[in-house]
Amino acid sequence: MVRTTAALAAITGTVLAGAALDKRYSIRSDIGQIRSARKQAKHWEQLCQAFGDDDWSFYHVLHFTFGQNEYGEAFLFEDRSWTYAETRAEVGRLALAFEKMGIRNRTVVAMMIDNSPEFYFMWWALFKIGAIPAPVNTAITQEPFRHCVKISDSEFLFCSYELYPRVAASMNLERVDGVFQGLPKLKEVFVYDYGAYPPCALAAEVGVLKHNDLDPVHPGMAEWPPERRPKVGQADTSQYLFTSGTTGLPKAATWPTGYSHMAASPTRWPYMFEKRRRLYACTPLFHGGATYALLPATVRAGGTIILARKFSVRNFWHDVRRTRANMLFYIGEMVRYLVQAPPDPVHPDEKKTHGMEIIYGLGIAAPVWKAFRLRFGVPWITEYYSATEGTSSINYSNLSNNEPVGKVAHWGPLMRSSWFGQDTFYIIRIDMDSGEVIRDPKTGLCIQAKYGEVGEAINRIKPPMQRIHDYVGEGGVQATNKKLLKDVFAKGDTFWRLGDAMSMDSKGFVTFVDRLGDTFRAKGHNISTTEVEMAFLNHPHISSANVYAIPMNKFGLDGQMGLAAITLQKGASPNDPGQIEIDSIRGLEQYLTQTAGLASYAVPRFLRILVDDDGSDPQKREQIGISDSVGSEYVSLMLKKLKTSLRKEAFSPPAESRDRMYWIEREGQGYVALTDDARQQLLGGTAKL
């Protein structure tokens, strides 16, 4: 008995010691990531063997399900659903129609279509015949819209009935000498109709492709024999993705087909596809995060795509319950909106009335991460980081609030070692003012940022897997070359500059800090707008914060100053500040420095209360791409914060705006209303700050 007790004690001690070592050195996590990387490498070898030189069409992802899950639910949109057999048949009908219209292998097709069956079936049909989809941000109009169609060399443009008026307002739909004005490569404009939107009157030059009028389904439509497959190489473009255009007009980035296939591999997402998932997709499909992060992997694994027209706080959990969704792709501020939503009186037990098991995405803040799990009981949260032009992505899975949250990766000693570790993502030193890379004066090579030091994230370019995502069109070569960084850690190597400020701590946790353009400098200090926003969001009366810098030199003053555009928990009256606003503003500076822990120089000098005005100008919201479902906040359709238009307005909102401005006239004395006299002094450069 004594020996047994001693043996059990020894085993217990060994287990506890092992657990302590694992917690300290992240051994299991590192081994899991190393195994996943090796599985990915093996998967690449298998793709090369299967596809050879020219059979890399991305349609293979859907075709892989042929004979695997024929009668399983493949696609669900509102009250309509399609099995895998039906999906491939409908895609085949549409692909045949496209070929009859003259769309061929490598034809570029612009898509101005919101989330709908129209988008989903068209996307796969274009891949099936080797055409290149070019989905356009449905919020843009006028010159940015025409620019996207032009730089991608689109020969066909398809839109939905819903977005036709936006297209008609953005381009001349009458041909001159057989050409659409300013778009010499564009041959045809069509509305594609699969019943998601009511019809409207169209210009004479615009055709209509009605899905219900396509050739009837026959058995061969779902097939895809080798002799009918388009010739597509692994380095050829699968799709064009447009950048957000925050620094100018959007740029069209290529997504190499080989890279797209790797994104579609279920092995890329360890353990997430051990069973067939039901993915709730409510972010715009024109965005690469929605179309490539989880959607193809879900399809390849035989799961179900549940497509919503858009994200809705009010309908979200109802939809999740109705459709039995168990996986979500999130982005931007979506999770925060769910956390801040009032309780559902019909389903008071918010942890047990849904089947959501995994949420995966990017842009979730640490406090929101914890609050979401505590309120809704979703066990598995995975935050990832990537970029439209990035050659790789990183992610961090978290199964407990006892583990660090708000991170985008975690690499223990093994993953950071030169023998077994990752070799695609690094953080290097740069001059935070100029953006110039800091190099070792002796070697001329770049310098990795130290633990805790903020630097710029870069991706290794190493074909065939890590291939450049070139920009195309006018100025594309120059724009691509500006992002390339050579002779980084060895002579001759090449990396892609991601333009994001990031840091890694001594335990290997990687944190997204800010977009480099959003980090600003005040009183000799670099200030992260993300960090300042988090301080505001901890305030009990503040529901959103959008922090940005405004240059003061044009007003005759030095440097930059921070401005925070915020919304209050209970909204702000258009005419009366109300007691909540008065109480919140009165002690806000003191709260930010003493409770939230911001340095005094990091506290924004200006404050803008965004008023939730039901009479807000819809034309203006459309012009700058503001989502129509988030009240007074300035966020895009992708639920990312918009700063450009706010930055231009500085501390002088338009005359028709009911937003209220405050400022700190003297540090330590709190925010006070920005009067017209004070504004004139600022504009004239005579204010004493």
CATH of the domain at 658: 3.30.300.30
Q: Are residues 549 and 644 in the same domain?
A: yes
Please say which residue of 255, 276, 295 terminates a domain: 255
The span from the CA of 286 to the CA of 371, in Å, is 30
Q: Is residue 81 part of a domain?
A: no
Q: Are residues 126 and 245 in the same domain?
A: yes
Q: Where do we find the tokens 């069109």? A: 473
The span from the CA of 455 to the CA of 441, in Å, is 18
The span from the CA of 269 to the CA of 303, in Å, is 14
Q: What is the mean pLDDT of residues 651-680?
A: 90
pLDDT level of residue 528 (50, 70, 90 thresholds): confident
pLDDT at 620 over 80: no
Give the CATH number for residue 121.
Answer: 3.40.50.980
Of 341, 333, 405, 342, residue with least CA distance to 369: 405
Q: Is residue 340 part of a domain?
A: no
pLDDT at 331 over 50: yes
Residues forming a β-bridge with 660: 609
The span from the CA of 446 to the CA of 457, in Å, is 12
Torsion angle (degrees, nearest 10) of CA 256, 258, 264, 269: -110
Q: Residue 291 corresponds to which amino acid? A: T
Helix H or strand E encompassing 96: helix 84-101
20 or 225, greater pLDDT: 225
Phi, psi of 226 (to 5 degrees): -55, -35
Q: Residue 312 corresponds to which amino acid? A: S
Q: What is the mean pLDDT of residues 616-623?
A: 53
Give the CATH number for residue 420.
Answer: 2.30.38.10
Q: What is the CA radius of gyration of the chain?
A: 26
Q: Are residues 481 and 546 in the same domain?
A: no
Q: Are residues 103 and 248 in the same domain?
A: yes
Residues forming a β-bridge with 132: 108
Q: How far is CA 118 from CA 293, 345, 577, in A?
A: 20, 35, 45
pLDDT level of residue 273 (50, 70, 90 thresholds): confident
Please say which residue of 495, 514, 533 terminates a domain: 514
Contact between residue 572 and residue 611 where contact means Cβ atoms under 8 Å apart = yes
3-class state of residue 280 by DSSP = strand
pLDDT level of residue 444 (50, 70, 90 thresholds): very high
User: Angle 455-459-460 (CA atoms, 0-180°, nearest 5)?
Assistant: 125
The span from the CA of 447 to the CA of 439, in Å, is 6
E-assigned strand segments in 335-453: 358-362, 380-385, 394-398, 409-410, 425-428
Q: Residue 250 corresponds to which amino acid? A: P
84 or 630, greater pLDDT: 84
pLDDT tens-digit map of 382-398: 999 988 888 888 999 88
Q: Are residues 574 and 479 in the same domain?
A: no
Please say which residue of 482, 514, 546 terminates a domain: 514
Q: Are residues 502 and 555 in the same domain?
A: no
The residue segments making up the domain with residue 219 are 88-255
For residue 54 the two structure tokens come to: 């020219």
For residue 609 the two structure tokens come to: 């209360």
pLDDT level of residue 15 (50, 70, 90 thresholds): very low
Q: How far is CA 161 from CA 156, 199, 461, 638, 654, in A?
A: 16, 6, 41, 21, 33
Q: Are residues 176 and 139 in the same domain?
A: yes
The span from the CA of 365 to the CA of 381, in Å, is 12
Q: Is residue 620 part of a domain?
A: yes
Q: Is residue 42 part of a domain?
A: no
Q: Are residues 424 and 554 in the same domain?
A: no
Phi, psi of 33 (to 5 degrees): -70, -40
User: What does pTM read for this prediction?
Assistant: 0.84
- For the residues of 379-391, what is the DSSP string, one character each? -EEEEEE--TT-S
Q: Is residue 224 part of a domain?
A: yes
For residue 471 the two structure tokens come to: 């920009």
The span from the CA of 648 to the CA of 521, in Å, is 18
Q: Are residues 532 and 491 in the same domain?
A: no
- Give how many domains the chain has, as a whole number: 3
Predicted pLDDT at 601:
82
pLDDT tens-digit map of 210-221: 999 999 998 888
SS3 per-residue string spanning 584-627 = HHHCHHHHHHHHCCCCHHHCCCEEEECCCCCCCCHHHHHHCCCC
The span from the CA of 523 to the CA of 9, in Å, is 59
Q: Is residue 144 part of a domain?
A: yes
Tell me what the pLDDT averaged over the chain comes to.
88
Q: How far is CA 483 from CA 252, 459, 471, 514, in A?
A: 14, 11, 10, 18
Contact between residue 490 and residue 529 where contact means Cβ atoms under 8 Å apart = no
Q: How many CB atoms lie within 10 A of CB 608?
A: 25
Phi, psi of 681 (to 5 degrees): -65, -40
What does DSSP say about strands 509-515 and 409-410: parallel, antiparallel, or unpaired? antiparallel
For residue 680 the two structure tokens come to: 């004139």
Q: Are residues 93 and 159 in the same domain?
A: yes
Q: How far is CA 327 from CA 259, 286, 294, in A?
A: 23, 20, 9
The span from the CA of 647 to the CA of 198, in Å, is 38
Q: Are residues 598 and 620 in the same domain?
A: yes
Q: What percent of the chain has pLDDT over 90?
A: 57
Predicted pLDDT at 219:
80
pLDDT tens-digit map of 277-319: 999 999 999 988 888 888 999 999 999 999 999 999 999 999 9
Phi, psi of 534 (to 5 degrees): -60, -35
Q: Where do we find the tokens 């353990």? A: 271
pLDDT at 16 over 50: no
Residues forming a β-bridge with 278: 304
Q: Residue ranges of the alpha helices (H) in 274-328?
A: 288-292, 295-300, 316-323
pLDDT tens-digit map of 374-433: 999 999 999 999 888 888 889 998 888 788 888 999 999 999 998 888 999 999 999 887
Q: Is residue 27 part of a domain?
A: no
Q: Are residues 655 and 551 in the same domain?
A: yes
Cβ-proximal residues to 163 (8 Å cutoff; 6+ apart), any chain: 112, 113, 114, 138
Q: Is residue 239 part of a domain?
A: yes
